[in-house]
Amino acid sequence: MKDIKSTDRQYVMNTYARFDLLIESGKGAICRDEKGNEYVDFTSGIGVNCLGWCDDEWADAVSAQAHKLNHTSNLYYTEPCALLAQKLCARTGYAKVFFGNSGAEANEGAIKLARKYSYDKYGDGRSKVVTLVNSFHGRTISTLSATGQDGYHKWFFPFTGGFEHVPAGDLYALSNALEGACALVVEFVQGEGGVVALDANFVAEAYEMCRARDVLFVADEVQTGMGRTGKLLASQHFGILPDITTLAKGLGGGLPIGAVLAGEKVANTLGAGMHGSTFGGNPVVCAGANVVVDRLDDKLLADVARKGEYIRSRLDGCPGVKAVSGLGMMVGILPETKKAADIAKQALAKGLLVLTAKDRVRLLPPLTIDDAALEKGMDILTSILKD
Ligand SMILES: *Cc1c(COP(=O)(O)O)cnc(C)c1O
């Protein structure tokens, strides 16, 4: 359907370099284009479709909720929102949740929460937010400021002030930067930055440094959260409970949602009228997210870890692979000589969807992918890498 593609190019703002693929339907880890060609999905809509395409239980919960109660505004109570918050807190150890619609919005909420906490306790002069070089925190003006990549700091001046970026692993720079700061924000695995995991020792030291100075430790788990790394939250790999964790991508299983999880210290920092979001906590979206949280039990999480290891075992020693990075089912592959973008194009032609991040091929398969589809996808990918 060249028609749809050209209509899209004419009428949708050209902010995306789309692949030459029109997706018409999907089930599990397989989707189809308009001609009926099938593709194995190693992208999950960039870490969103954690239960794959159109999971039955998820789709039933979403459609039943759409028939029962679609939207109320946040002036009223609804069951799916309250249940989701309760479940998230019970599963993670957090005290309270704020719901928005996206990762960037969740991070904006975390920044506001951190600044308010610090202002209440210490007054002016402690508003700085420290983030890491090579991070990615979103596309709003403030989350672009938070993002530690110069490539994003163009055109849209003036950016929001009060952000400083330090190199991951540099404790001396971090210590200096934390002067006058209210928060440190980190991704445990920098996703858009090339699937780069933080060093465990750096995380432990940074966490302690923040604690000692009452600077809030904020985890941006928009990509790493919701089982992606083999644990519900990636922070669990590091044995810490950050003061604030943000979630989005995988949380809704394919519908827009973002969440700010707040620990005891900051759970009551924001009061009525201080923050909000029209669509936040929408019952239909929360009905889907409730299914996602329920399905991410210990059994599925163990399976994510197992499948992550399988992917690594297939790449280990594979010709054409220079390095493999990431955690669980969040995988970065640095090719020997080929360009990541060319590999993604070749994969598409052979019936496999993969992502790129910087100079790496990035894999974010649905957490529920079955072994047959996973093996088929890895066969295609390794044949291209070797070639
Ligand atoms: C994708 C992503 C975001 C932005 O999420 P949006 O929903 O696109 O606003 C923020 N932080 C991280 C770590 C992400 O991967």
What's the pLDDT tens digit per position in 33-53? Answer: 999 999 999 999 999 999 999
* Mean pLDDT confidence for 64-72: 98
Catalytic residues: 136, 220, 249
Domain end position, chosen among 295, 325, 348: 295
Does 62 fall in a domain? no
Residue in 238, 224, 253, 204 with CA at minimum distance from that of residue 331 = 224
pLDDT per residue as tens digits for the range 202-232 = 999 999 999 999 999 999 999 999 999 999 9
* Mean pLDDT confidence for 337-366: 98
pLDDT per residue as tens digits for the range 94-119 = 999 999 999 999 999 999 999 999 99
Number of compact structural domains in the chain = 2
Same domain assignment for residues 22 and 152: no
Asked whether the CA dihedral 347, 349, 353, 356 is positive or negative, the reply is positive
Same domain assignment for residues 276 and 170: yes
Pocket flag, ligand 1, residue 189 (CB < 6 Å): no
Same domain assignment for residues 356 and 247: no
Is the overall model pTM greater than 0.85, yes or no?
yes
**Residue 171, pLDDT score:** 98
Same domain assignment for residues 226 and 344: no
pLDDT per residue as tens digits for the range 80-98 = 999 999 999 999 999 999 9
pLDDT per residue as tens digits for the range 157-192 = 999 999 999 999 999 999 999 999 999 999 999 999
CA–centroid distance, residue 2 to ligand 1 (Å): 31
Q: What SS3 state is found at 184? A: strand
> Given strand 216-220, what is the order of strands in its sheet?
96-100, 258-262, 244-247, 216-220, 181-186, 128-132, 163-166
Q: Look at residue 124 and tell me whether its pLDDT is greater than 60.
A: yes
Substitution candidate for ligand 1 out of 136, 187, 195, 224 with most atoms within 8 A of CB: 136
Same domain assignment for residues 313 and 291: no
Rounded to a whole number of angstroms, the CA Rg of the chain reads 21
Q: Work out the number of other CB atoms within 10 angstroms of the CB of residue 173.
A: 16
Q: What SS3 state is found at 30? A: strand
Same domain assignment for residues 231 and 302: no
Domain that holds residue 280: 69-295
Does 224 fall in a domain? yes
Q: Look at residue 1 and tell me whether its pLDDT is greater than 60.
A: no
How far apart are alpha carbons 69 and 186 in whole angstroms? Answer: 37
Q: What SS3 state is found at 356? A: strand
In order of 3, 45, 295, 336, 368, the CA distances from 35 in angstroms are: 13, 20, 33, 34, 26
